Chain A
Amino acid sequence: MSDRLSFHVQRDSFLHRLNPLTKLTLAFALVVVAFVLPFYWTPIFVLFAVIVPLSVSGKIFREFSWAALRLILPAVGFLFVMQALFQPIGEQVVFKFYFLDATTESVAYAFRNAARIFVMISAFTLFLLSTHPSELMSDLTRRGLPSQFSYVVISTLQIIPQMQAKANAIIAAQRSRGLDTESSFLKRAGALGPLVGPLVFGSLVEVEERAIAIEARGFTSKRAKTSLYEIADSKFESVLRWSLVALVVLSIGLNLWHS
């Protein structure tokens, strides 16, 4: 499978060896905790005490920090500025921008929200960096997820690099027929039909052929399938997952009790 689309980075690490479901549970648990535990610094704590150390032990700190600084931070930063300026709470003005003002309270509020979102995205980034989508899907299928469902997820991930290659071939073919894709924007916009048409038709033909081909090989057979890859799981991980679930329940309880 082409990895151009999935974020997965192959490394030999403790994090990579964890069962995909454990990692998924962990990501969810961290997000819930960051959102519901009623302590102001929870999201920051989760980020620096759990997510960052995990990325280090997973040998993906470099990739993780790249994503965090280049993708997550700008988005979350934007959110922070907007909320700080637009939340109509608090009295103590710390910053004024024309008619908008940021107060101590609105800044604090925006900061916590931004930190929560940061945790949410980075927890899943960590998950995606250390888990191959097909690993997750085979594990979930083994646990009873219908294989049709994982087929749709996996083939969607596969189809995009395939479509890229196809799009390049189509562009070459149409340019050879005198289609101008190199000059003005207007001309390029007019070139859309001849480029998109074969992409869609060709992909439809392909999808149908593939569906028939896998059907002919017994894809929808009702028997339990033999799994080709053994995806590791252990008693320990099972305990870990249930503890995470307990943690989630506990934080929700604490949140309700606190308020």
Chain B
Amino acid sequence: MNIEIKSLHFAYPDGTEALKGISLTIASGEQIAIVGQNGAGKTTLARHLNGLLKPSGGTVFVGDWETTQHPVAKLAARVGYVFQNPDEQLFSRDVLTEVSFGPRNLGYAKEKVDALAQRALALTELSEKTEVNPYDLSPTWRKMVALASIIAMDTPIVVFDEPTTGQDAANVARIARVVAELKREGKTVIAITHDIDFCAENFERVVALSRGQILLDGATRDVLGQEAVLAQTYVEPPQLTRLGKRLGLKETVVNQEELLQALKK
């Protein structure tokens, strides 16, 4: 299921022009990271994908649906959105009920709801914790519950807002495994992130936003190679990429493996 954004403009009621003409096509099954400085418009863009915000100008299509024509509750079957703060959505007395909430809203049969919830719990390593009250878990595990509760909806498209912010290394690795599994299943994954290492290691395409416009859009390697342009939106390429540059490598490297390969040559 493709996402087709055409000259999207958006202004908040107070007049802030958050998006100034974004055009973007995201193909089915792509892994794409959206980067850019604070206030660049990343969250505003992401919220258009499931219809939480409706364009002031231009169009957003998710598959054959234009977002203005469908309520959020219906778009939720196509686009899952993991919010940055899990405390803004957890309400059930145990993890299993929480994770089943989404698929139940989508009206799936009981067996399917159970199967989807179990799969999401396994993927987020929560299988042991199904009966715990989410508020008895640590903030990092609450984040995983929030993730699981969206993955359980089995949407073809999943959007993550700042998934790794405030997470410890173990949880970042867990989230990376979730992204990898979603990729294997052929889902589209879109992540807003400040974590440029996470972006370099898990995403094949990067879109850099700056002041409501697209600054760069392309393969991760090509985008992260453009240090000077990225500096305009206060994004620094990964340490490794900069090291590679300083070592005089011709190609841009974005992870350890590539750096080793390049050095061996």
Whole-angstrom CA separation of A173 from B149 in the bound complex: 11
Which of chain A's residues 169-185 have a Cβ closer than 8 Å to chain B? 169-170, 172-183
Q: Are B89 and A178 in contact (CB under 8 A)?
A: no
A123 to chain B, nearest CB (A): 35
Residue among A182, A183, A202 having the largest count of chain B Cβ atoms under 10 Å: A202
Which chain B residues border A195 with CB–CB below 8 Å?
91
B10 to chain A, nearest CB (A): 15
Q: Are B76 and A172 in contact (CB under 8 A)?
A: no
Whole-angstrom CA separation of A181 from B52 in the bound complex: 12
The contact string, 1 if C-beta is below 8 Å from chain B, for chain A 86-121, is: 000000000000000000000000000000000000
Does A166 have its Cβ within 8 Å of any Cβ on chain B? yes
Which chain A residues border B73 with CB–CB below 8 Å?
175, 178-182
Closest A residue to B52 using CB positions: A172
Query: Could you say which of B54-62, B77-85, B202-210, B216-224 contacts chain A?
Result: B77-85
Which of chain B's residues 35-81 have a Cβ closer than 8 Å to chain A? 47, 50, 52, 71-73, 76-77, 79-81
Closest A residue to B74 using CB positions: A178
Q: Are B102 and A173 in contact (CB under 8 A)?
A: no
Closest A residue to B134 using CB positions: A201
Q: Are B105 and A177 in contact (CB under 8 A)?
A: yes
B129 to chain A, nearest CB (A): 17
Does B257 have its Cβ within 8 Å of any Cβ on chain A? no
B166 to chain A, nearest CB (A): 14
Q: How large is the interface on A (under 10, 10 to 19, 20 to 34, 35 or more residues)?
A: 20 to 34
A112 to chain B, nearest CB (A): 46
Whole-angstrom CA separation of A195 from B90 in the bound complex: 9
Q: Are A201 and B105 in contact (CB under 8 A)?
A: no
B116 to chain A, nearest CB (A): 12
Does B135 have its Cβ within 8 Å of any Cβ on chain A? yes
Whole-angstrom CA separation of A170 from B105 in the bound complex: 16
Does B101 have its Cβ within 8 Å of any Cβ on chain A? yes
Contact of B71 among A182, A196, A198 (CB under 8 A): A182
Which chain A residues border B88 with CB–CB below 8 Å?
166, 169-170, 173, 198, 202
Which chain A residues border B83 with CB–CB below 8 Å?
169, 172-173, 176
Which chain B residues border A201 with CB–CB below 8 Å?
87, 90-91, 135
Does B33 have its Cβ within 8 Å of any Cβ on chain A? no
Whole-angstrom CA separation of A246 from B232 in the bound complex: 69
Which chain A residues border B135 with CB–CB below 8 Å?
201, 205
Whole-angstrom CA separation of A175 from B80 in the bound complex: 10
Which chain B residues border A205 with CB–CB below 8 Å?
87, 135
Q: Do A175 and B72 form a contact, CB below 8 Å, given A169-B83, A169-B85, A201-B135? A: yes
Contact of B76 among A170, A178, A198, A202 (CB under 8 A): A178
Residue among A170, A172, A173, A177 having the largest count of chain B Cβ atoms under 10 Å: A177
Whole-angstrom CA separation of A166 from B83 in the bound complex: 13
Whole-angstrom CA separation of A255 from B155 in the bound complex: 76
Which DSSP category, helix, strand, loop or mixed, fits chain A's interface? helix
Closest B residue to A169 using CB positions: B88
Does B253 have its Cβ within 8 Å of any Cβ on chain A? no
Q: Are B91 and A178 in contact (CB under 8 A)?
A: no
Q: Are A173 and B89 in contact (CB under 8 A)?
A: yes
Does A197 have its Cβ within 8 Å of any Cβ on chain B? yes
Q: Are B150 and A198 in contact (CB under 8 A)?
A: no
Which chain A residues border B76 with CB–CB below 8 Å?
175-178
Contact of B81 among A169, A176, A194 (CB under 8 A): A176
Whole-angstrom CA separation of A201 from B73 in the bound complex: 24
Which chain B residues border A218 with CB–CB below 8 Å?
none
Whole-angstrom CA separation of A218 from B53 in the bound complex: 43
Closest B residue to A177 using CB positions: B102
Does A193 have its Cβ within 8 Å of any Cβ on chain B? yes
Q: Are B91 and A194 in contact (CB under 8 A)?
A: yes
A180 to chain B, nearest CB (A): 4
Which chain A residues border B150 with CB–CB below 8 Å?
176-177
Does B192 have its Cβ within 8 Å of any Cβ on chain A? no
Closest B residue to A181 using CB positions: B73
Q: Are B105 and A180 in contact (CB under 8 A)?
A: yes
Which chain B residues border A182 with CB–CB below 8 Å?
71-73
Knowing that A193-B91, A205-B87 touch, tell me 8 more A-B residue pairs with CB under 8 angstroms.
A166-B88, A172-B47, A176-B52, A176-B76, A176-B150, A182-B72, A197-B91, A197-B92
Sample 8 A-B pairs with CB under 8 A, ordered by A number. A176-B50, A176-B150, A177-B149, A178-B102, A178-B105, A180-B105, A198-B89, A201-B90
